[in-house]
Amino acid sequence: MPMHQVYVIWTNQLVRDSLRQLLDHIDITWVGASSDFSFAIEEISRLHPDTILIEEGVDETTTTAFMEIVEKFQWNLRVIGVSLDDNQLSIYQHAHQTVGQPEDLIRLIIQ
């Protein structure tokens, strides 16, 4: 099974510490974390993680952050928003797929 590299963008220290403990898994490498979004973008550019966890806030800045990350980074990337308020996860994935036949598109939509 491939090792997954995870980067965390957080606003609450408790969230960062909790995620750090939860992600103590043999198939996951914690590559970095920051509460500074600009610094996080620089680090993500350098480290190329395959998964980014973002603590979701109560305003629209998190949605803006999701869109900026998905648009900026052009590798297969999963962005997961973590909300402590309602125990919800929002998952955004940017992936490049080659579609040669109509069936390929159908398969991508229904998988």
Q: Is the pLDDT of residue 35 over 80?
A: yes
- At residue 91, what are phi and psi to the nearest 5 degrees? -115, 125
Contact 27, 5 (CB under 8 A): no
Count other Cβ atoms within 10 Å, centred on residue 94.
15
% of the chain with per-residue pLDDT over 70: 77
Regarding predicted confidence, which is higher, 68 or 60?
68
**What pTM, to 2 d.p., does this model score?**
0.71
pLDDT at 87 over 70: no
Mean of the per-residue pLDDT values for the chain?
A: 78
Superfamily of segment(s) 4-110: Response regulator (3.40.50.2300)
- Side chain identity, residue 53: L
Q: Which of 109, 2, 95, 4 shows the shortest CA–CA distance to 53?
A: 4
- Local confidence band at 1 (pLDDT 50, 70, 90 cut-offs): low
Domain spans of the chain, in order of start: 4-110
- Range from 10-19, 29-38, 45-54 carrying the lowest mean pLDDT: 10-19
